[in-house]
Chains A and B, each alone.
Chain A
Amino acid sequence: MASTLTLQYQPAEAASAPPSPWVRLEQEPVRSGDLTQTDLLTMLALVQAGTSAKAYRPADCVAYVQGDIAHADLAVYAYPSALDLAYTLTPLLVDLGQVTALRQERDFDLVVPMATRVDLPFLMDSLSLTWQTPCYNRFGQQTSPPAITINGATLELSAEVFGVLRVRGQALGFRHALHFQMAKDLGSSLSNIVPVITAAWIDPEQGQQTERLEIELPDCLTDLMALCPDGITERAHALGSVTDPDEDVVPVVYYSTCTGQVLALRYERP
């Protein structure tokens, strides 16, 4: 009697362990302090108008002074790999404020580095993926683009390839408001103050994972600390002699160096 034994060998299933959770932190952009052309032209206009440009503060400065306290309203974006991932934020030298859901349109390149799995930088909704390049296998041979499965914030590819994807969609996360404040006194200095936010979460092996972000303070806060030594109005002479230096009198503008508000304008002999 004839019998047939059939053995079939197949490659092992690709590793399908779920990706480890993560939280990425990103500070909401603050003005870096570089003067723009508009800033410079505004300061020139101020000088020509008889007001010291020292009082000029960019309109988008997030810092202000109340009494003897300097404040800055900042924020940090937290992007968890899943919206239901439990995480905590621990602030250092800054206070946590209100939390709001975040949904931002983002558009970026993502290099698939010869892999079958690649993490997006954030969980995304309304995702569109477009290959910017052909796909290649690890031996430099061009291959057809693999099928892509979206698994949370991870892209899983049906084959190991190199290629560059253009990713567009809505990044999902949370915006945590931050409030920085500092008493102003003669010894105030921002030079060694670096607020820090640390995110912590538990991984599948019950280990604690953390992500740390140093918070950048806006340069206009530094200016405020320098220009408002005691939080009260000061008298400052104008630089208004640019156009007519032989004039007998020059305009002197009285203004608050803290708020920039013009208090009075008088013509005086220099």
Chain B
Amino acid sequence: MPTNALTLTYAAPPSTEGEPLDLLLIEQQDWRLGTGLVTKAELVGALANWLYGEDYQSRVDCGFVGEDLVCGINVYPRVAGLVYQFHTSHGTLSERSVELAEIEESCNFALEAEAQPRYPARTITSAEWLAECYDLNGNVITPPALTIAGGSIRAAVACYGSVNVRYTTERHTYLLTCPRREEALDNHYSAAVYGVYSGGLNWLEIEMPPGIDAFEADPDAECGWGSSQGSITAPDREPAPVEDGGHDRKTVVDYCSQQVASDEVY
């Protein structure tokens, strides 16, 4: 009896099986409050410099160190001992700094029996209800007992409510330094950071600081003061006659106490 051959060809199997992993939480540290803004004290200092030649060194923070943009990046591994490489698309990253950070925050139960803290918890040291708990119909119920299971908080029954939780998390910190792309037309400092590990990767696009537009337009811009390009003219379009600043009295007031420190009349 003849033999019939059946040939099955299967093409292009995936190189790795299973779903990709999500093992890194990456976040950018907030720009400091007031970044890019000139305070009143700074303004007075600058005016005194311009009018009277007083010593003045700008302390306006624009997120720059020298000519480079610098920002902090926090990385939280979701599993202890994760081996990963951290890279940036532009600029350089500092060495990894590792700490076990203690976090206190409120966790919400949204008609569920389990809640997760914001960051991957290594150990949860305490969890207690902040206020009353509600069931699906909005009725106040006795707060259910809480148990801690690994990095999660579990309630005995599903409910609405908030829990104050204290826990520790492993935080890796990097400093990202981005020099100006001299050849670029715009977006001179933009960057994305990403962590790569066996089984997946995570990434984050860097948010630029307030006031970056001035530096995009003019690399010689002064932090907080914008570009110094341009000429100074009087309303009649003639060069403004700026006289040498002269004053015959100098009063020094302490900024914090508002007390007069000295008052000299020449």
Helix, strand, loop or mixed for chain A's interface?
A: mixed
- The answer on a CB contact under 8 Å between A141 and B11 is no
Which A residues, 1 to 20, have Cβ-Cβ distances below 8 Å to chain B?
Answer: 1-11
> In whole angstroms, how far apart are the Cα atoms of A133 and B194 in the complex?
10
Q: State in angstroms the CA–CA spacing of A244 and B244 once bound together.
A: 11
Contact with B along A115-131 (1 / 0, CB 8 A): 00000000000000000
A192 to nearest B CB, angstroms?
25
**CB of A106 within 8 A of chain B?**
yes
Q: Which of A7, A41, A48 contacts B243 (CB 8 A)?
A: A48
* Chain B residue contacts of A10, Cβ below 8 A: 11-12
Q: Which residues of A contact B11 (CB under 8 A)?
A: 8-11
A residues near B201, Cβ cutoff 8 Å: 136, 138, 140, 162
> Which positions 13-47 of chain B face chain A at CB distance < 8 Å?
15-16, 20-21, 46-47
Tell me if A38 is interfacial: C-beta within 8 Å of chain B.
Answer: yes
Pick from A5, A49, A59: contact of B242, CB under 8 Å: A49
* Contact of A38 with B230 in the complex, beta carbons under 8 Å: yes
Measured CA separation A139–B201 after assembly (Å) = 7
Contact of B228 among A36, A49, A56, A142 (CB under 8 A): A36
Residues of B within 8 A of A105 (CB): 185
Q: How far is the CA of A46 from the CA of B242 in the complex (A)?
A: 8
Which residues from A are CB-within-8-Å of B50?
40-41, 44
How far apart are the CA atoms of A36 and B190 in the complex, in Å? 24
- A139:B3 contact, CB within 8 angstroms: no
Q: A37-B226, A138-B201 are in contact. List 6 more A-B contacts (CB 8 A).
A: A4-B7, A37-B227, A41-B50, A42-B240, A55-B235, A136-B196
User: What residues make up the interface of A, taking CB atoms closer than 8 Å to B?
Assistant: 1-11, 34-38, 40-42, 44-46, 48-49, 51, 55-56, 59, 105-109, 111, 113, 132-133, 136-142, 162, 164, 168, 242-244, 255, 260-262
